[in-house]
Structure 1
């Protein structure tokens, strides 16, 4: 929407491009290409101003942002062909535009026809009385931000419709470039915020020394926001330990200065102000009372401070951003960002960065307090704390052992009983299937014999034969027997898995070549691996003391899981990586072999990863899986071989199973002696899921 202007005579131009659509398109493309040549917002805007000023032979061309919330404009770019005109970069009141202020705030097109009766601006910081022709074209940015291209020139005519349309076309393309630049700037500033917060987080993890954390944090924040002073004031909390330095140690250091409960980082052009800082000043009291952020563009205009405040005058503070450093439980500190060299209007990015740093500092201070409390309590009762810790660990271990023992004992009895009860009747079924098959074949032969001996049976017998449909009965009986045989075999395999789960078959441990076990397992599965590429990365391994049969079963289960995962992605080439290496345990300093089996399948969803070692847990369809494969793997590796089994998986990036086994077994549990023990994630010894 644009402001309506009086009807004006058309002014003739000598420029041919205005009357040639082809030349206009070429000019527009050239200007747009130059505008989009950078992702820096300032460069984009300055390029647009320079191009428009040169094309239209303007005396002055500006770009300013309009801030409706503060009723101000900020001139960010300019091009002056009038050498006698002073630069106008900076902030101005929207009211300086007189009667046009309302139209500008609404984002309307504003044009100056150049006639005395229509000049209603009055004195303006942007428009001079000597220039008769001006045009303000709105430009929208990201998040409803509003800017204007301001074109001014000496002319006795008016802006032609073609010129206005051409400028509006440039403005439309400029809007796209501005949005891209603002998005780039937003991402860059977000990365800057994250970088500073991550640095503070890293410092917190490295040390609980609050002085080091605070001085480095405010130094980084001051440089990132280009402020003149950055102060953090620790609020004294009742009952909390004193973490600040003593007054005797309050020697100033560059760039950070400190006093009890105060830390400051300031620009070299300004001296330290912590000695004159009033810890009970008006802004401090307001933040303590309201626990909200304070944004002050001009301290002289803030009624809480005023122009005669001695502290602010000594520190030469002109603008201030004050952020509480707090959690939901308590206010730990107050962060002050002070600008002394100029009046500063704090942007949302300034406030977000300061708030992000304040939030992280709150966590750091809270952790430092907790750490100090722990150290203080430990110093007062070190022996008692050690005794309580040992007792607590013993109780937890005993409790976990009792719960796990009882749970696994009951599970073992249930599995053994179930296997026994099911095995007897299924043996009857499975054993009688061959007899039924033989009897059926005999009956079929008998029927054939009757048919040959009596090709023309009586009508009643022929009707009965058609009603019974002997041929169908013969075919269907064979299919039924096949189904019975398959089902019985499936039940037998389930019973065998249950028996293996409750008590592995007796075997002897011996020294074996792990690579031979992997290759024999791959040989067994070669029919399932026809469309899967197997990549071997075998290291030099010694012979390993283990129970080879049980370990091969682990390889079988893990490889089957990988193959079945790859089969769920028929349109993608499957790959299984086998990697072995010899490593040293950092805890026990003994030799371990590491076996990794990885696939490029769909991965395991995070919500089911904690359950994958639970007995009977499966994601397969009913009848397709028993849910005992990984449980037996974990039992064999961890309990029997005293090793570790880790599953690492990310959705869409495949799954990797990592087995670590000691080269020599120490106090290993033989299969005959080992009860079924599957550890759930909340047990004392849990599977590692990452």
Structure 2
């Protein structure tokens, strides 16, 4: 490319924008760096152009991108010692511009042993990345004089934009790595929730970790803890289909190109002993240079291990295992992302192993003392019942306060509007009569008054005003009905039992759910019912939960017309010969599978996705109907034929049972209703 652009600010600006646009065309760090190297090499006619990272802590550099125009030069991609740069090393470590461009003294730096001496003109431009990471753009060309100040300034401008692109790419890479860590940890967490089988958890975890980090071997060594149960398996249990190799307390996942090494693994080797003693991570880039291992270690030589990352699997209380990541095909410098991912997996495995130990201990204790296990189960059920009651109580209290406040705040202004509509109507009629009188008294008004009358269009104004008043009256009446329904539903001032009309509670609930019922046909078959003694607010909540379940069931089959049938009737109990009211709420939805019907009244049981349901709706309904009102609640359902909920309540309440019995009954309703569920 011609050098004319050096003397034209407009061309420089255009070139800079073009190069920056290409550099920012990707969020992959390798693509960003390679694009920058290619563009700079083409623009400045460079024989070689590189980008490398400088790691001050290890005194090494990593050449990650290059562009070679002289075919005789071998690629330099890979890791090198910082000392290979000769006199440049100190300046590179400090992040300086290397080459002293524009002055004859630039030759005083000398040539780099790594880059060679065939090219006399060189320039190394520092580039800062995220977290103070340091990189360099290396520009080399044949001897043709010093670097021009314009060239250096342009390269520094590109470097500034490249720093932004690198930071974005590094942030994207960091988020991607974080997502990868979370995905693997979540998979291990999910496996832990599905099974407490430690062998399954460990073998799958090390297999996923080995693939994620592209290592050749991944081994987990369970450290024997005094007093902990033995969770290992016998060698006789292994099968040919098992993707991981194992020995007592050892599990391994390895690349197909390398044989299993667990048989030769030394559980008391030098690295194992060091981790057990210090409980810290060990990062070994080259095992031959580690004084604890050395080049002649038989175990490492036989397993062909060249690099190793060892992470303790521990909690604050104990060291449960040691995780070994071994690279056999090459020497590997373990990045922080590698170490973070391995540490995240180790932390989750520590939790999984701890849970497995706890689970084994609980099983042993249960086998030794059945009575103690039953006591623990009863305590858990009582806690869950108390939690369910607290949640429902707080929810209903908040709903009642909200509805009462809403009804109070809206009722006053809407009553004012509704009450003044007749007066406005009367005043308007008087004005109309007045206008008519003026027209009769003055049939030929002045031209100005006639023009004003035509502009105002009095006749249209009178007609439209009547329609507006009618709309205001209808809207105000509708709002009053909604407020009445909300107050009737919440019944905040009716915390005690009283005589109520059940049909009013059903209609209030339907009114509140009007928006959800737009595509659902509601068929009412109400019988003649007496006023029922009950707790109105709690009973309305039962109607709400059952109707919501029916609506949500219908919404799962959008192509089919939905229908909800409400049926009420007065019946006589065959056992006690007392009057009962029966309320049936049926839908034509998909029905409930038979295998889950015995569980539908269990607290916290739900078939919805996580975060979409609490599993308390039917449990609350059962508690309210059976425990509080001494009635019955049954669910009849056949797959594909819909579901029907039948509530039977006594017309007059008998004495309530003790609160402790109420808590117990919400926990174990199956015994009372399982026979009634078809």
**Band the TM-score falls in, shorter-chain normalisation:** 0.5 to 0.7
CA gap 1:412/1:90 in 2 versus in 1, 3 angstroms: closer
2:15 — aligned with what? Answer: 27
Q: After alignment, is 112-121 or 148-157 more displaced? A: 112-121
CA gap 1:284/1:469 in 2 versus in 1, 3 angstroms: same
**8 Å contact kept, 1:504–1:672:** no
CA gap 1:548/1:149 in 2 versus in 1, 3 angstroms: same
**8 Å contact kept, 2:50–2:67:** yes
Q: How far did 1:18 drift?
A: 1.1
Alpha-carbon distance in structure 1 between the residues aligned to 2:135 and 2:386:
70
Q: How far did 1:598 drift?
A: 22
Q: Can you list the C-alpha shifts for 1:553-604, whole angstroms capped at 9, x where unaligned?
A: 9999999999999999999999999999999999999999999999999999
**8 Å contact kept, 1:222–1:229:** yes
CA gap 1:257/1:55 in 2 versus in 1, 3 angstroms: same
1:158 — aligned with what? Answer: 146
CA gap 1:153/1:376 in 2 versus in 1, 3 angstroms: same
Q: How far did 1:99 drift?
A: 2.2
Q: 1:272 aligns with which of 260, 272, 287?
A: 260
Q: Can you list the C-alpha shifts for 1:414-465, whole angstroms capped at 9, x where unaligned?
A: 9999999999999999999999999999999999999999999999999999
Q: How far did 1:105 drift?
A: 1.2
Q: How far did 1:379 drift?
A: 2.7
Q: After alignment, is 256-265 or 192-201 more displaced? A: 256-265
**8 Å contact kept, 2:384–2:603:** no
**8 Å contact kept, 2:185–2:348:** yes
**8 Å contact kept, 1:680–1:686:** no
Q: Can you list the C-alpha shifts for 1:623-651, whole angstroms capped at 9, x where unaligned?
A: 99999999999998896458999999999
Q: Can you list the C-alpha shifts for 1:384-431, whole angstroms capped at 9, x where unaligned?
A: 644775699799999999999999999999999999999999999999
**8 Å contact kept, 2:286–2:307:** yes
CA gap 1:502/1:118 in 2 versus in 1, 3 angstroms: closer
CA gap 1:209/1:132 in 2 versus in 1, 3 angstroms: same
**8 Å contact kept, 2:102–2:148:** no
Q: How far did 1:378 drift?
A: 2.3
Q: After alignment, is 406-415 or 18-27 more displaced? A: 406-415
Q: 1:111 aligns with which of 99, 102, 109?
A: 99
1:220 — aligned with what? Answer: 208
Alpha-carbon distance in structure 2 between the residues aligned to 1:245 and 1:156:
73
CA gap 1:624/1:380 in 2 versus in 1, 3 angstroms: closer
Q: How far did 1:239 drift?
A: 1.0
**8 Å contact kept, 2:568–2:584:** yes
Q: Can you list the C-alpha shifts for 1:247-294, whole angstroms capped at 9, x where unaligned?
A: 333556564111111001111111111111100000000000010111
1:256 — aligned with what? Answer: 244
Q: After alignment, is 420-429 or 66-75 more displaced? A: 420-429
**8 Å contact kept, 1:536–1:578:** yes
**8 Å contact kept, 2:385–2:664:** no
Given the alignment of the two structures, is residue 412 of structure 1 paired with residue 400 of structure 2, yes or no? yes
**8 Å contact kept, 1:62–1:77:** yes
**8 Å contact kept, 2:401–2:492:** no
Q: After alignment, is 623-632 or 389-398 more displaced? A: 623-632
**8 Å contact kept, 1:590–1:662:** yes
**8 Å contact kept, 2:102–2:147:** no
Alpha-carbon distance in structure 2 between the residues aligned to 1:446 and 1:624:
63
Alpha-carbon distance in structure 1 between the residues aligned to 2:495 and 2:303:
83
2:59 — aligned with what? Answer: 71
Q: What is the total number of aligned residue pairs between the two structures? A: 678
**8 Å contact kept, 1:229–1:264:** yes
CA gap 1:209/1:493 in 2 versus in 1, 3 angstroms: same
Given the alignment of the two structures, is residue 56 of structure 1 paired with residue 44 of structure 2, yes or no? yes
Alpha-carbon distance in structure 2 between the residues aligned to 1:318 and 1:404:
61
Given the alignment of the two structures, is residue 189 of structure 1 paired with residue 181 of structure 2, yes or no? no
Q: After alignment, is 173-182 or 410-419 more displaced? A: 410-419
Q: TM-score, normalised by structure 1?
A: 0.62
**8 Å contact kept, 1:503–1:675:** no
1:384 — aligned with what? Answer: 372
Which consecutive residues of structure 1, in runs of 5 or more, have no partner in the other structure? Answer: 1-12
State the SS of the aligned residue for 2:494.
coil
1:3 — aligned with what? Answer: none
Q: How far did 1:530 drift?
A: 20
Given the alignment of the two structures, is residue 317 of structure 1 paired with residue 317 of structure 2, yes or no? no
Q: How far did 1:191 drift?
A: 0.3
CA gap 1:484/1:277 in 2 versus in 1, 3 angstroms: closer
**8 Å contact kept, 1:404–1:683:** no
Alpha-carbon distance in structure 1 between the residues aligned to 2:658 and 2:111:
98
Q: How far did 1:308 drift?
A: 1.0
Alpha-carbon distance in structure 2 between the residues aligned to 1:69 and 1:401:
58
Q: After alignment, is 148-157 or 481-490 more displaced? A: 481-490
Which consecutive residues of structure 2, in runs of 5 or more, have no partner in the other structure? Answer: none
**8 Å contact kept, 1:680–1:687:** no
CA gap 1:76/1:575 in 2 versus in 1, 3 angstroms: farther
**8 Å contact kept, 1:502–1:676:** no
Alpha-carbon distance in structure 2 between the residues aligned to 1:498 and 1:432:
24
Given the alignment of the two structures, is residue 337 of structure 1 paired with residue 349 of structure 2, yes or no? no
Alpha-carbon distance in structure 2 between the residues aligned to 1:586 and 1:428:
54
**8 Å contact kept, 1:537–1:578:** yes
Alpha-carbon distance in structure 1 between the residues aligned to 2:77 and 2:320:
40
Q: Can you list the C-alpha shifts for 1:94-139, whole angstroms capped at 9, x where unaligned?
A: 1122222121111111116699975455663542211010000111
CA gap 1:337/1:574 in 2 versus in 1, 3 angstroms: same
Q: TM-score, normalised by structure 2?
A: 0.63
Q: How far did 1:373 drift?
A: 1.5
Alpha-carbon distance in structure 2 between the residues aligned to 1:87 and 1:587:
94
Q: Can you list the C-alpha shifts for 1:279-322, whole angstroms capped at 9, x where unaligned?
A: 00000000000101111111111111111111111111111110
**8 Å contact kept, 2:99–2:107:** no
State the SS of the aligned residue for 2:633.
strand
CA gap 1:319/1:513 in 2 versus in 1, 3 angstroms: farther
**8 Å contact kept, 1:640–1:670:** no
**8 Å contact kept, 1:264–1:274:** yes
**8 Å contact kept, 1:73–1:91:** yes
State the SS of the aligned residue for 1:601.
coil
Q: How far did 1:242 drift?
A: 1.1
Q: Can you list the C-alpha shifts for 1:498-543, whole angstroms capped at 9, x where unaligned?
A: 9999999999999999885465589999999999999999999999
Q: After alignment, is 598-607 or 370-379 more displaced? A: 598-607
Alpha-carbon distance in structure 1 between the residues aligned to 2:564 and 2:203:
51
Alpha-carbon distance in structure 2 between the residues aligned to 1:338 and 1:625:
45
CA gap 1:474/1:383 in 2 versus in 1, 3 angstroms: same
**8 Å contact kept, 1:137–1:148:** yes
CA gap 1:368/1:118 in 2 versus in 1, 3 angstroms: same
**8 Å contact kept, 1:599–1:656:** yes
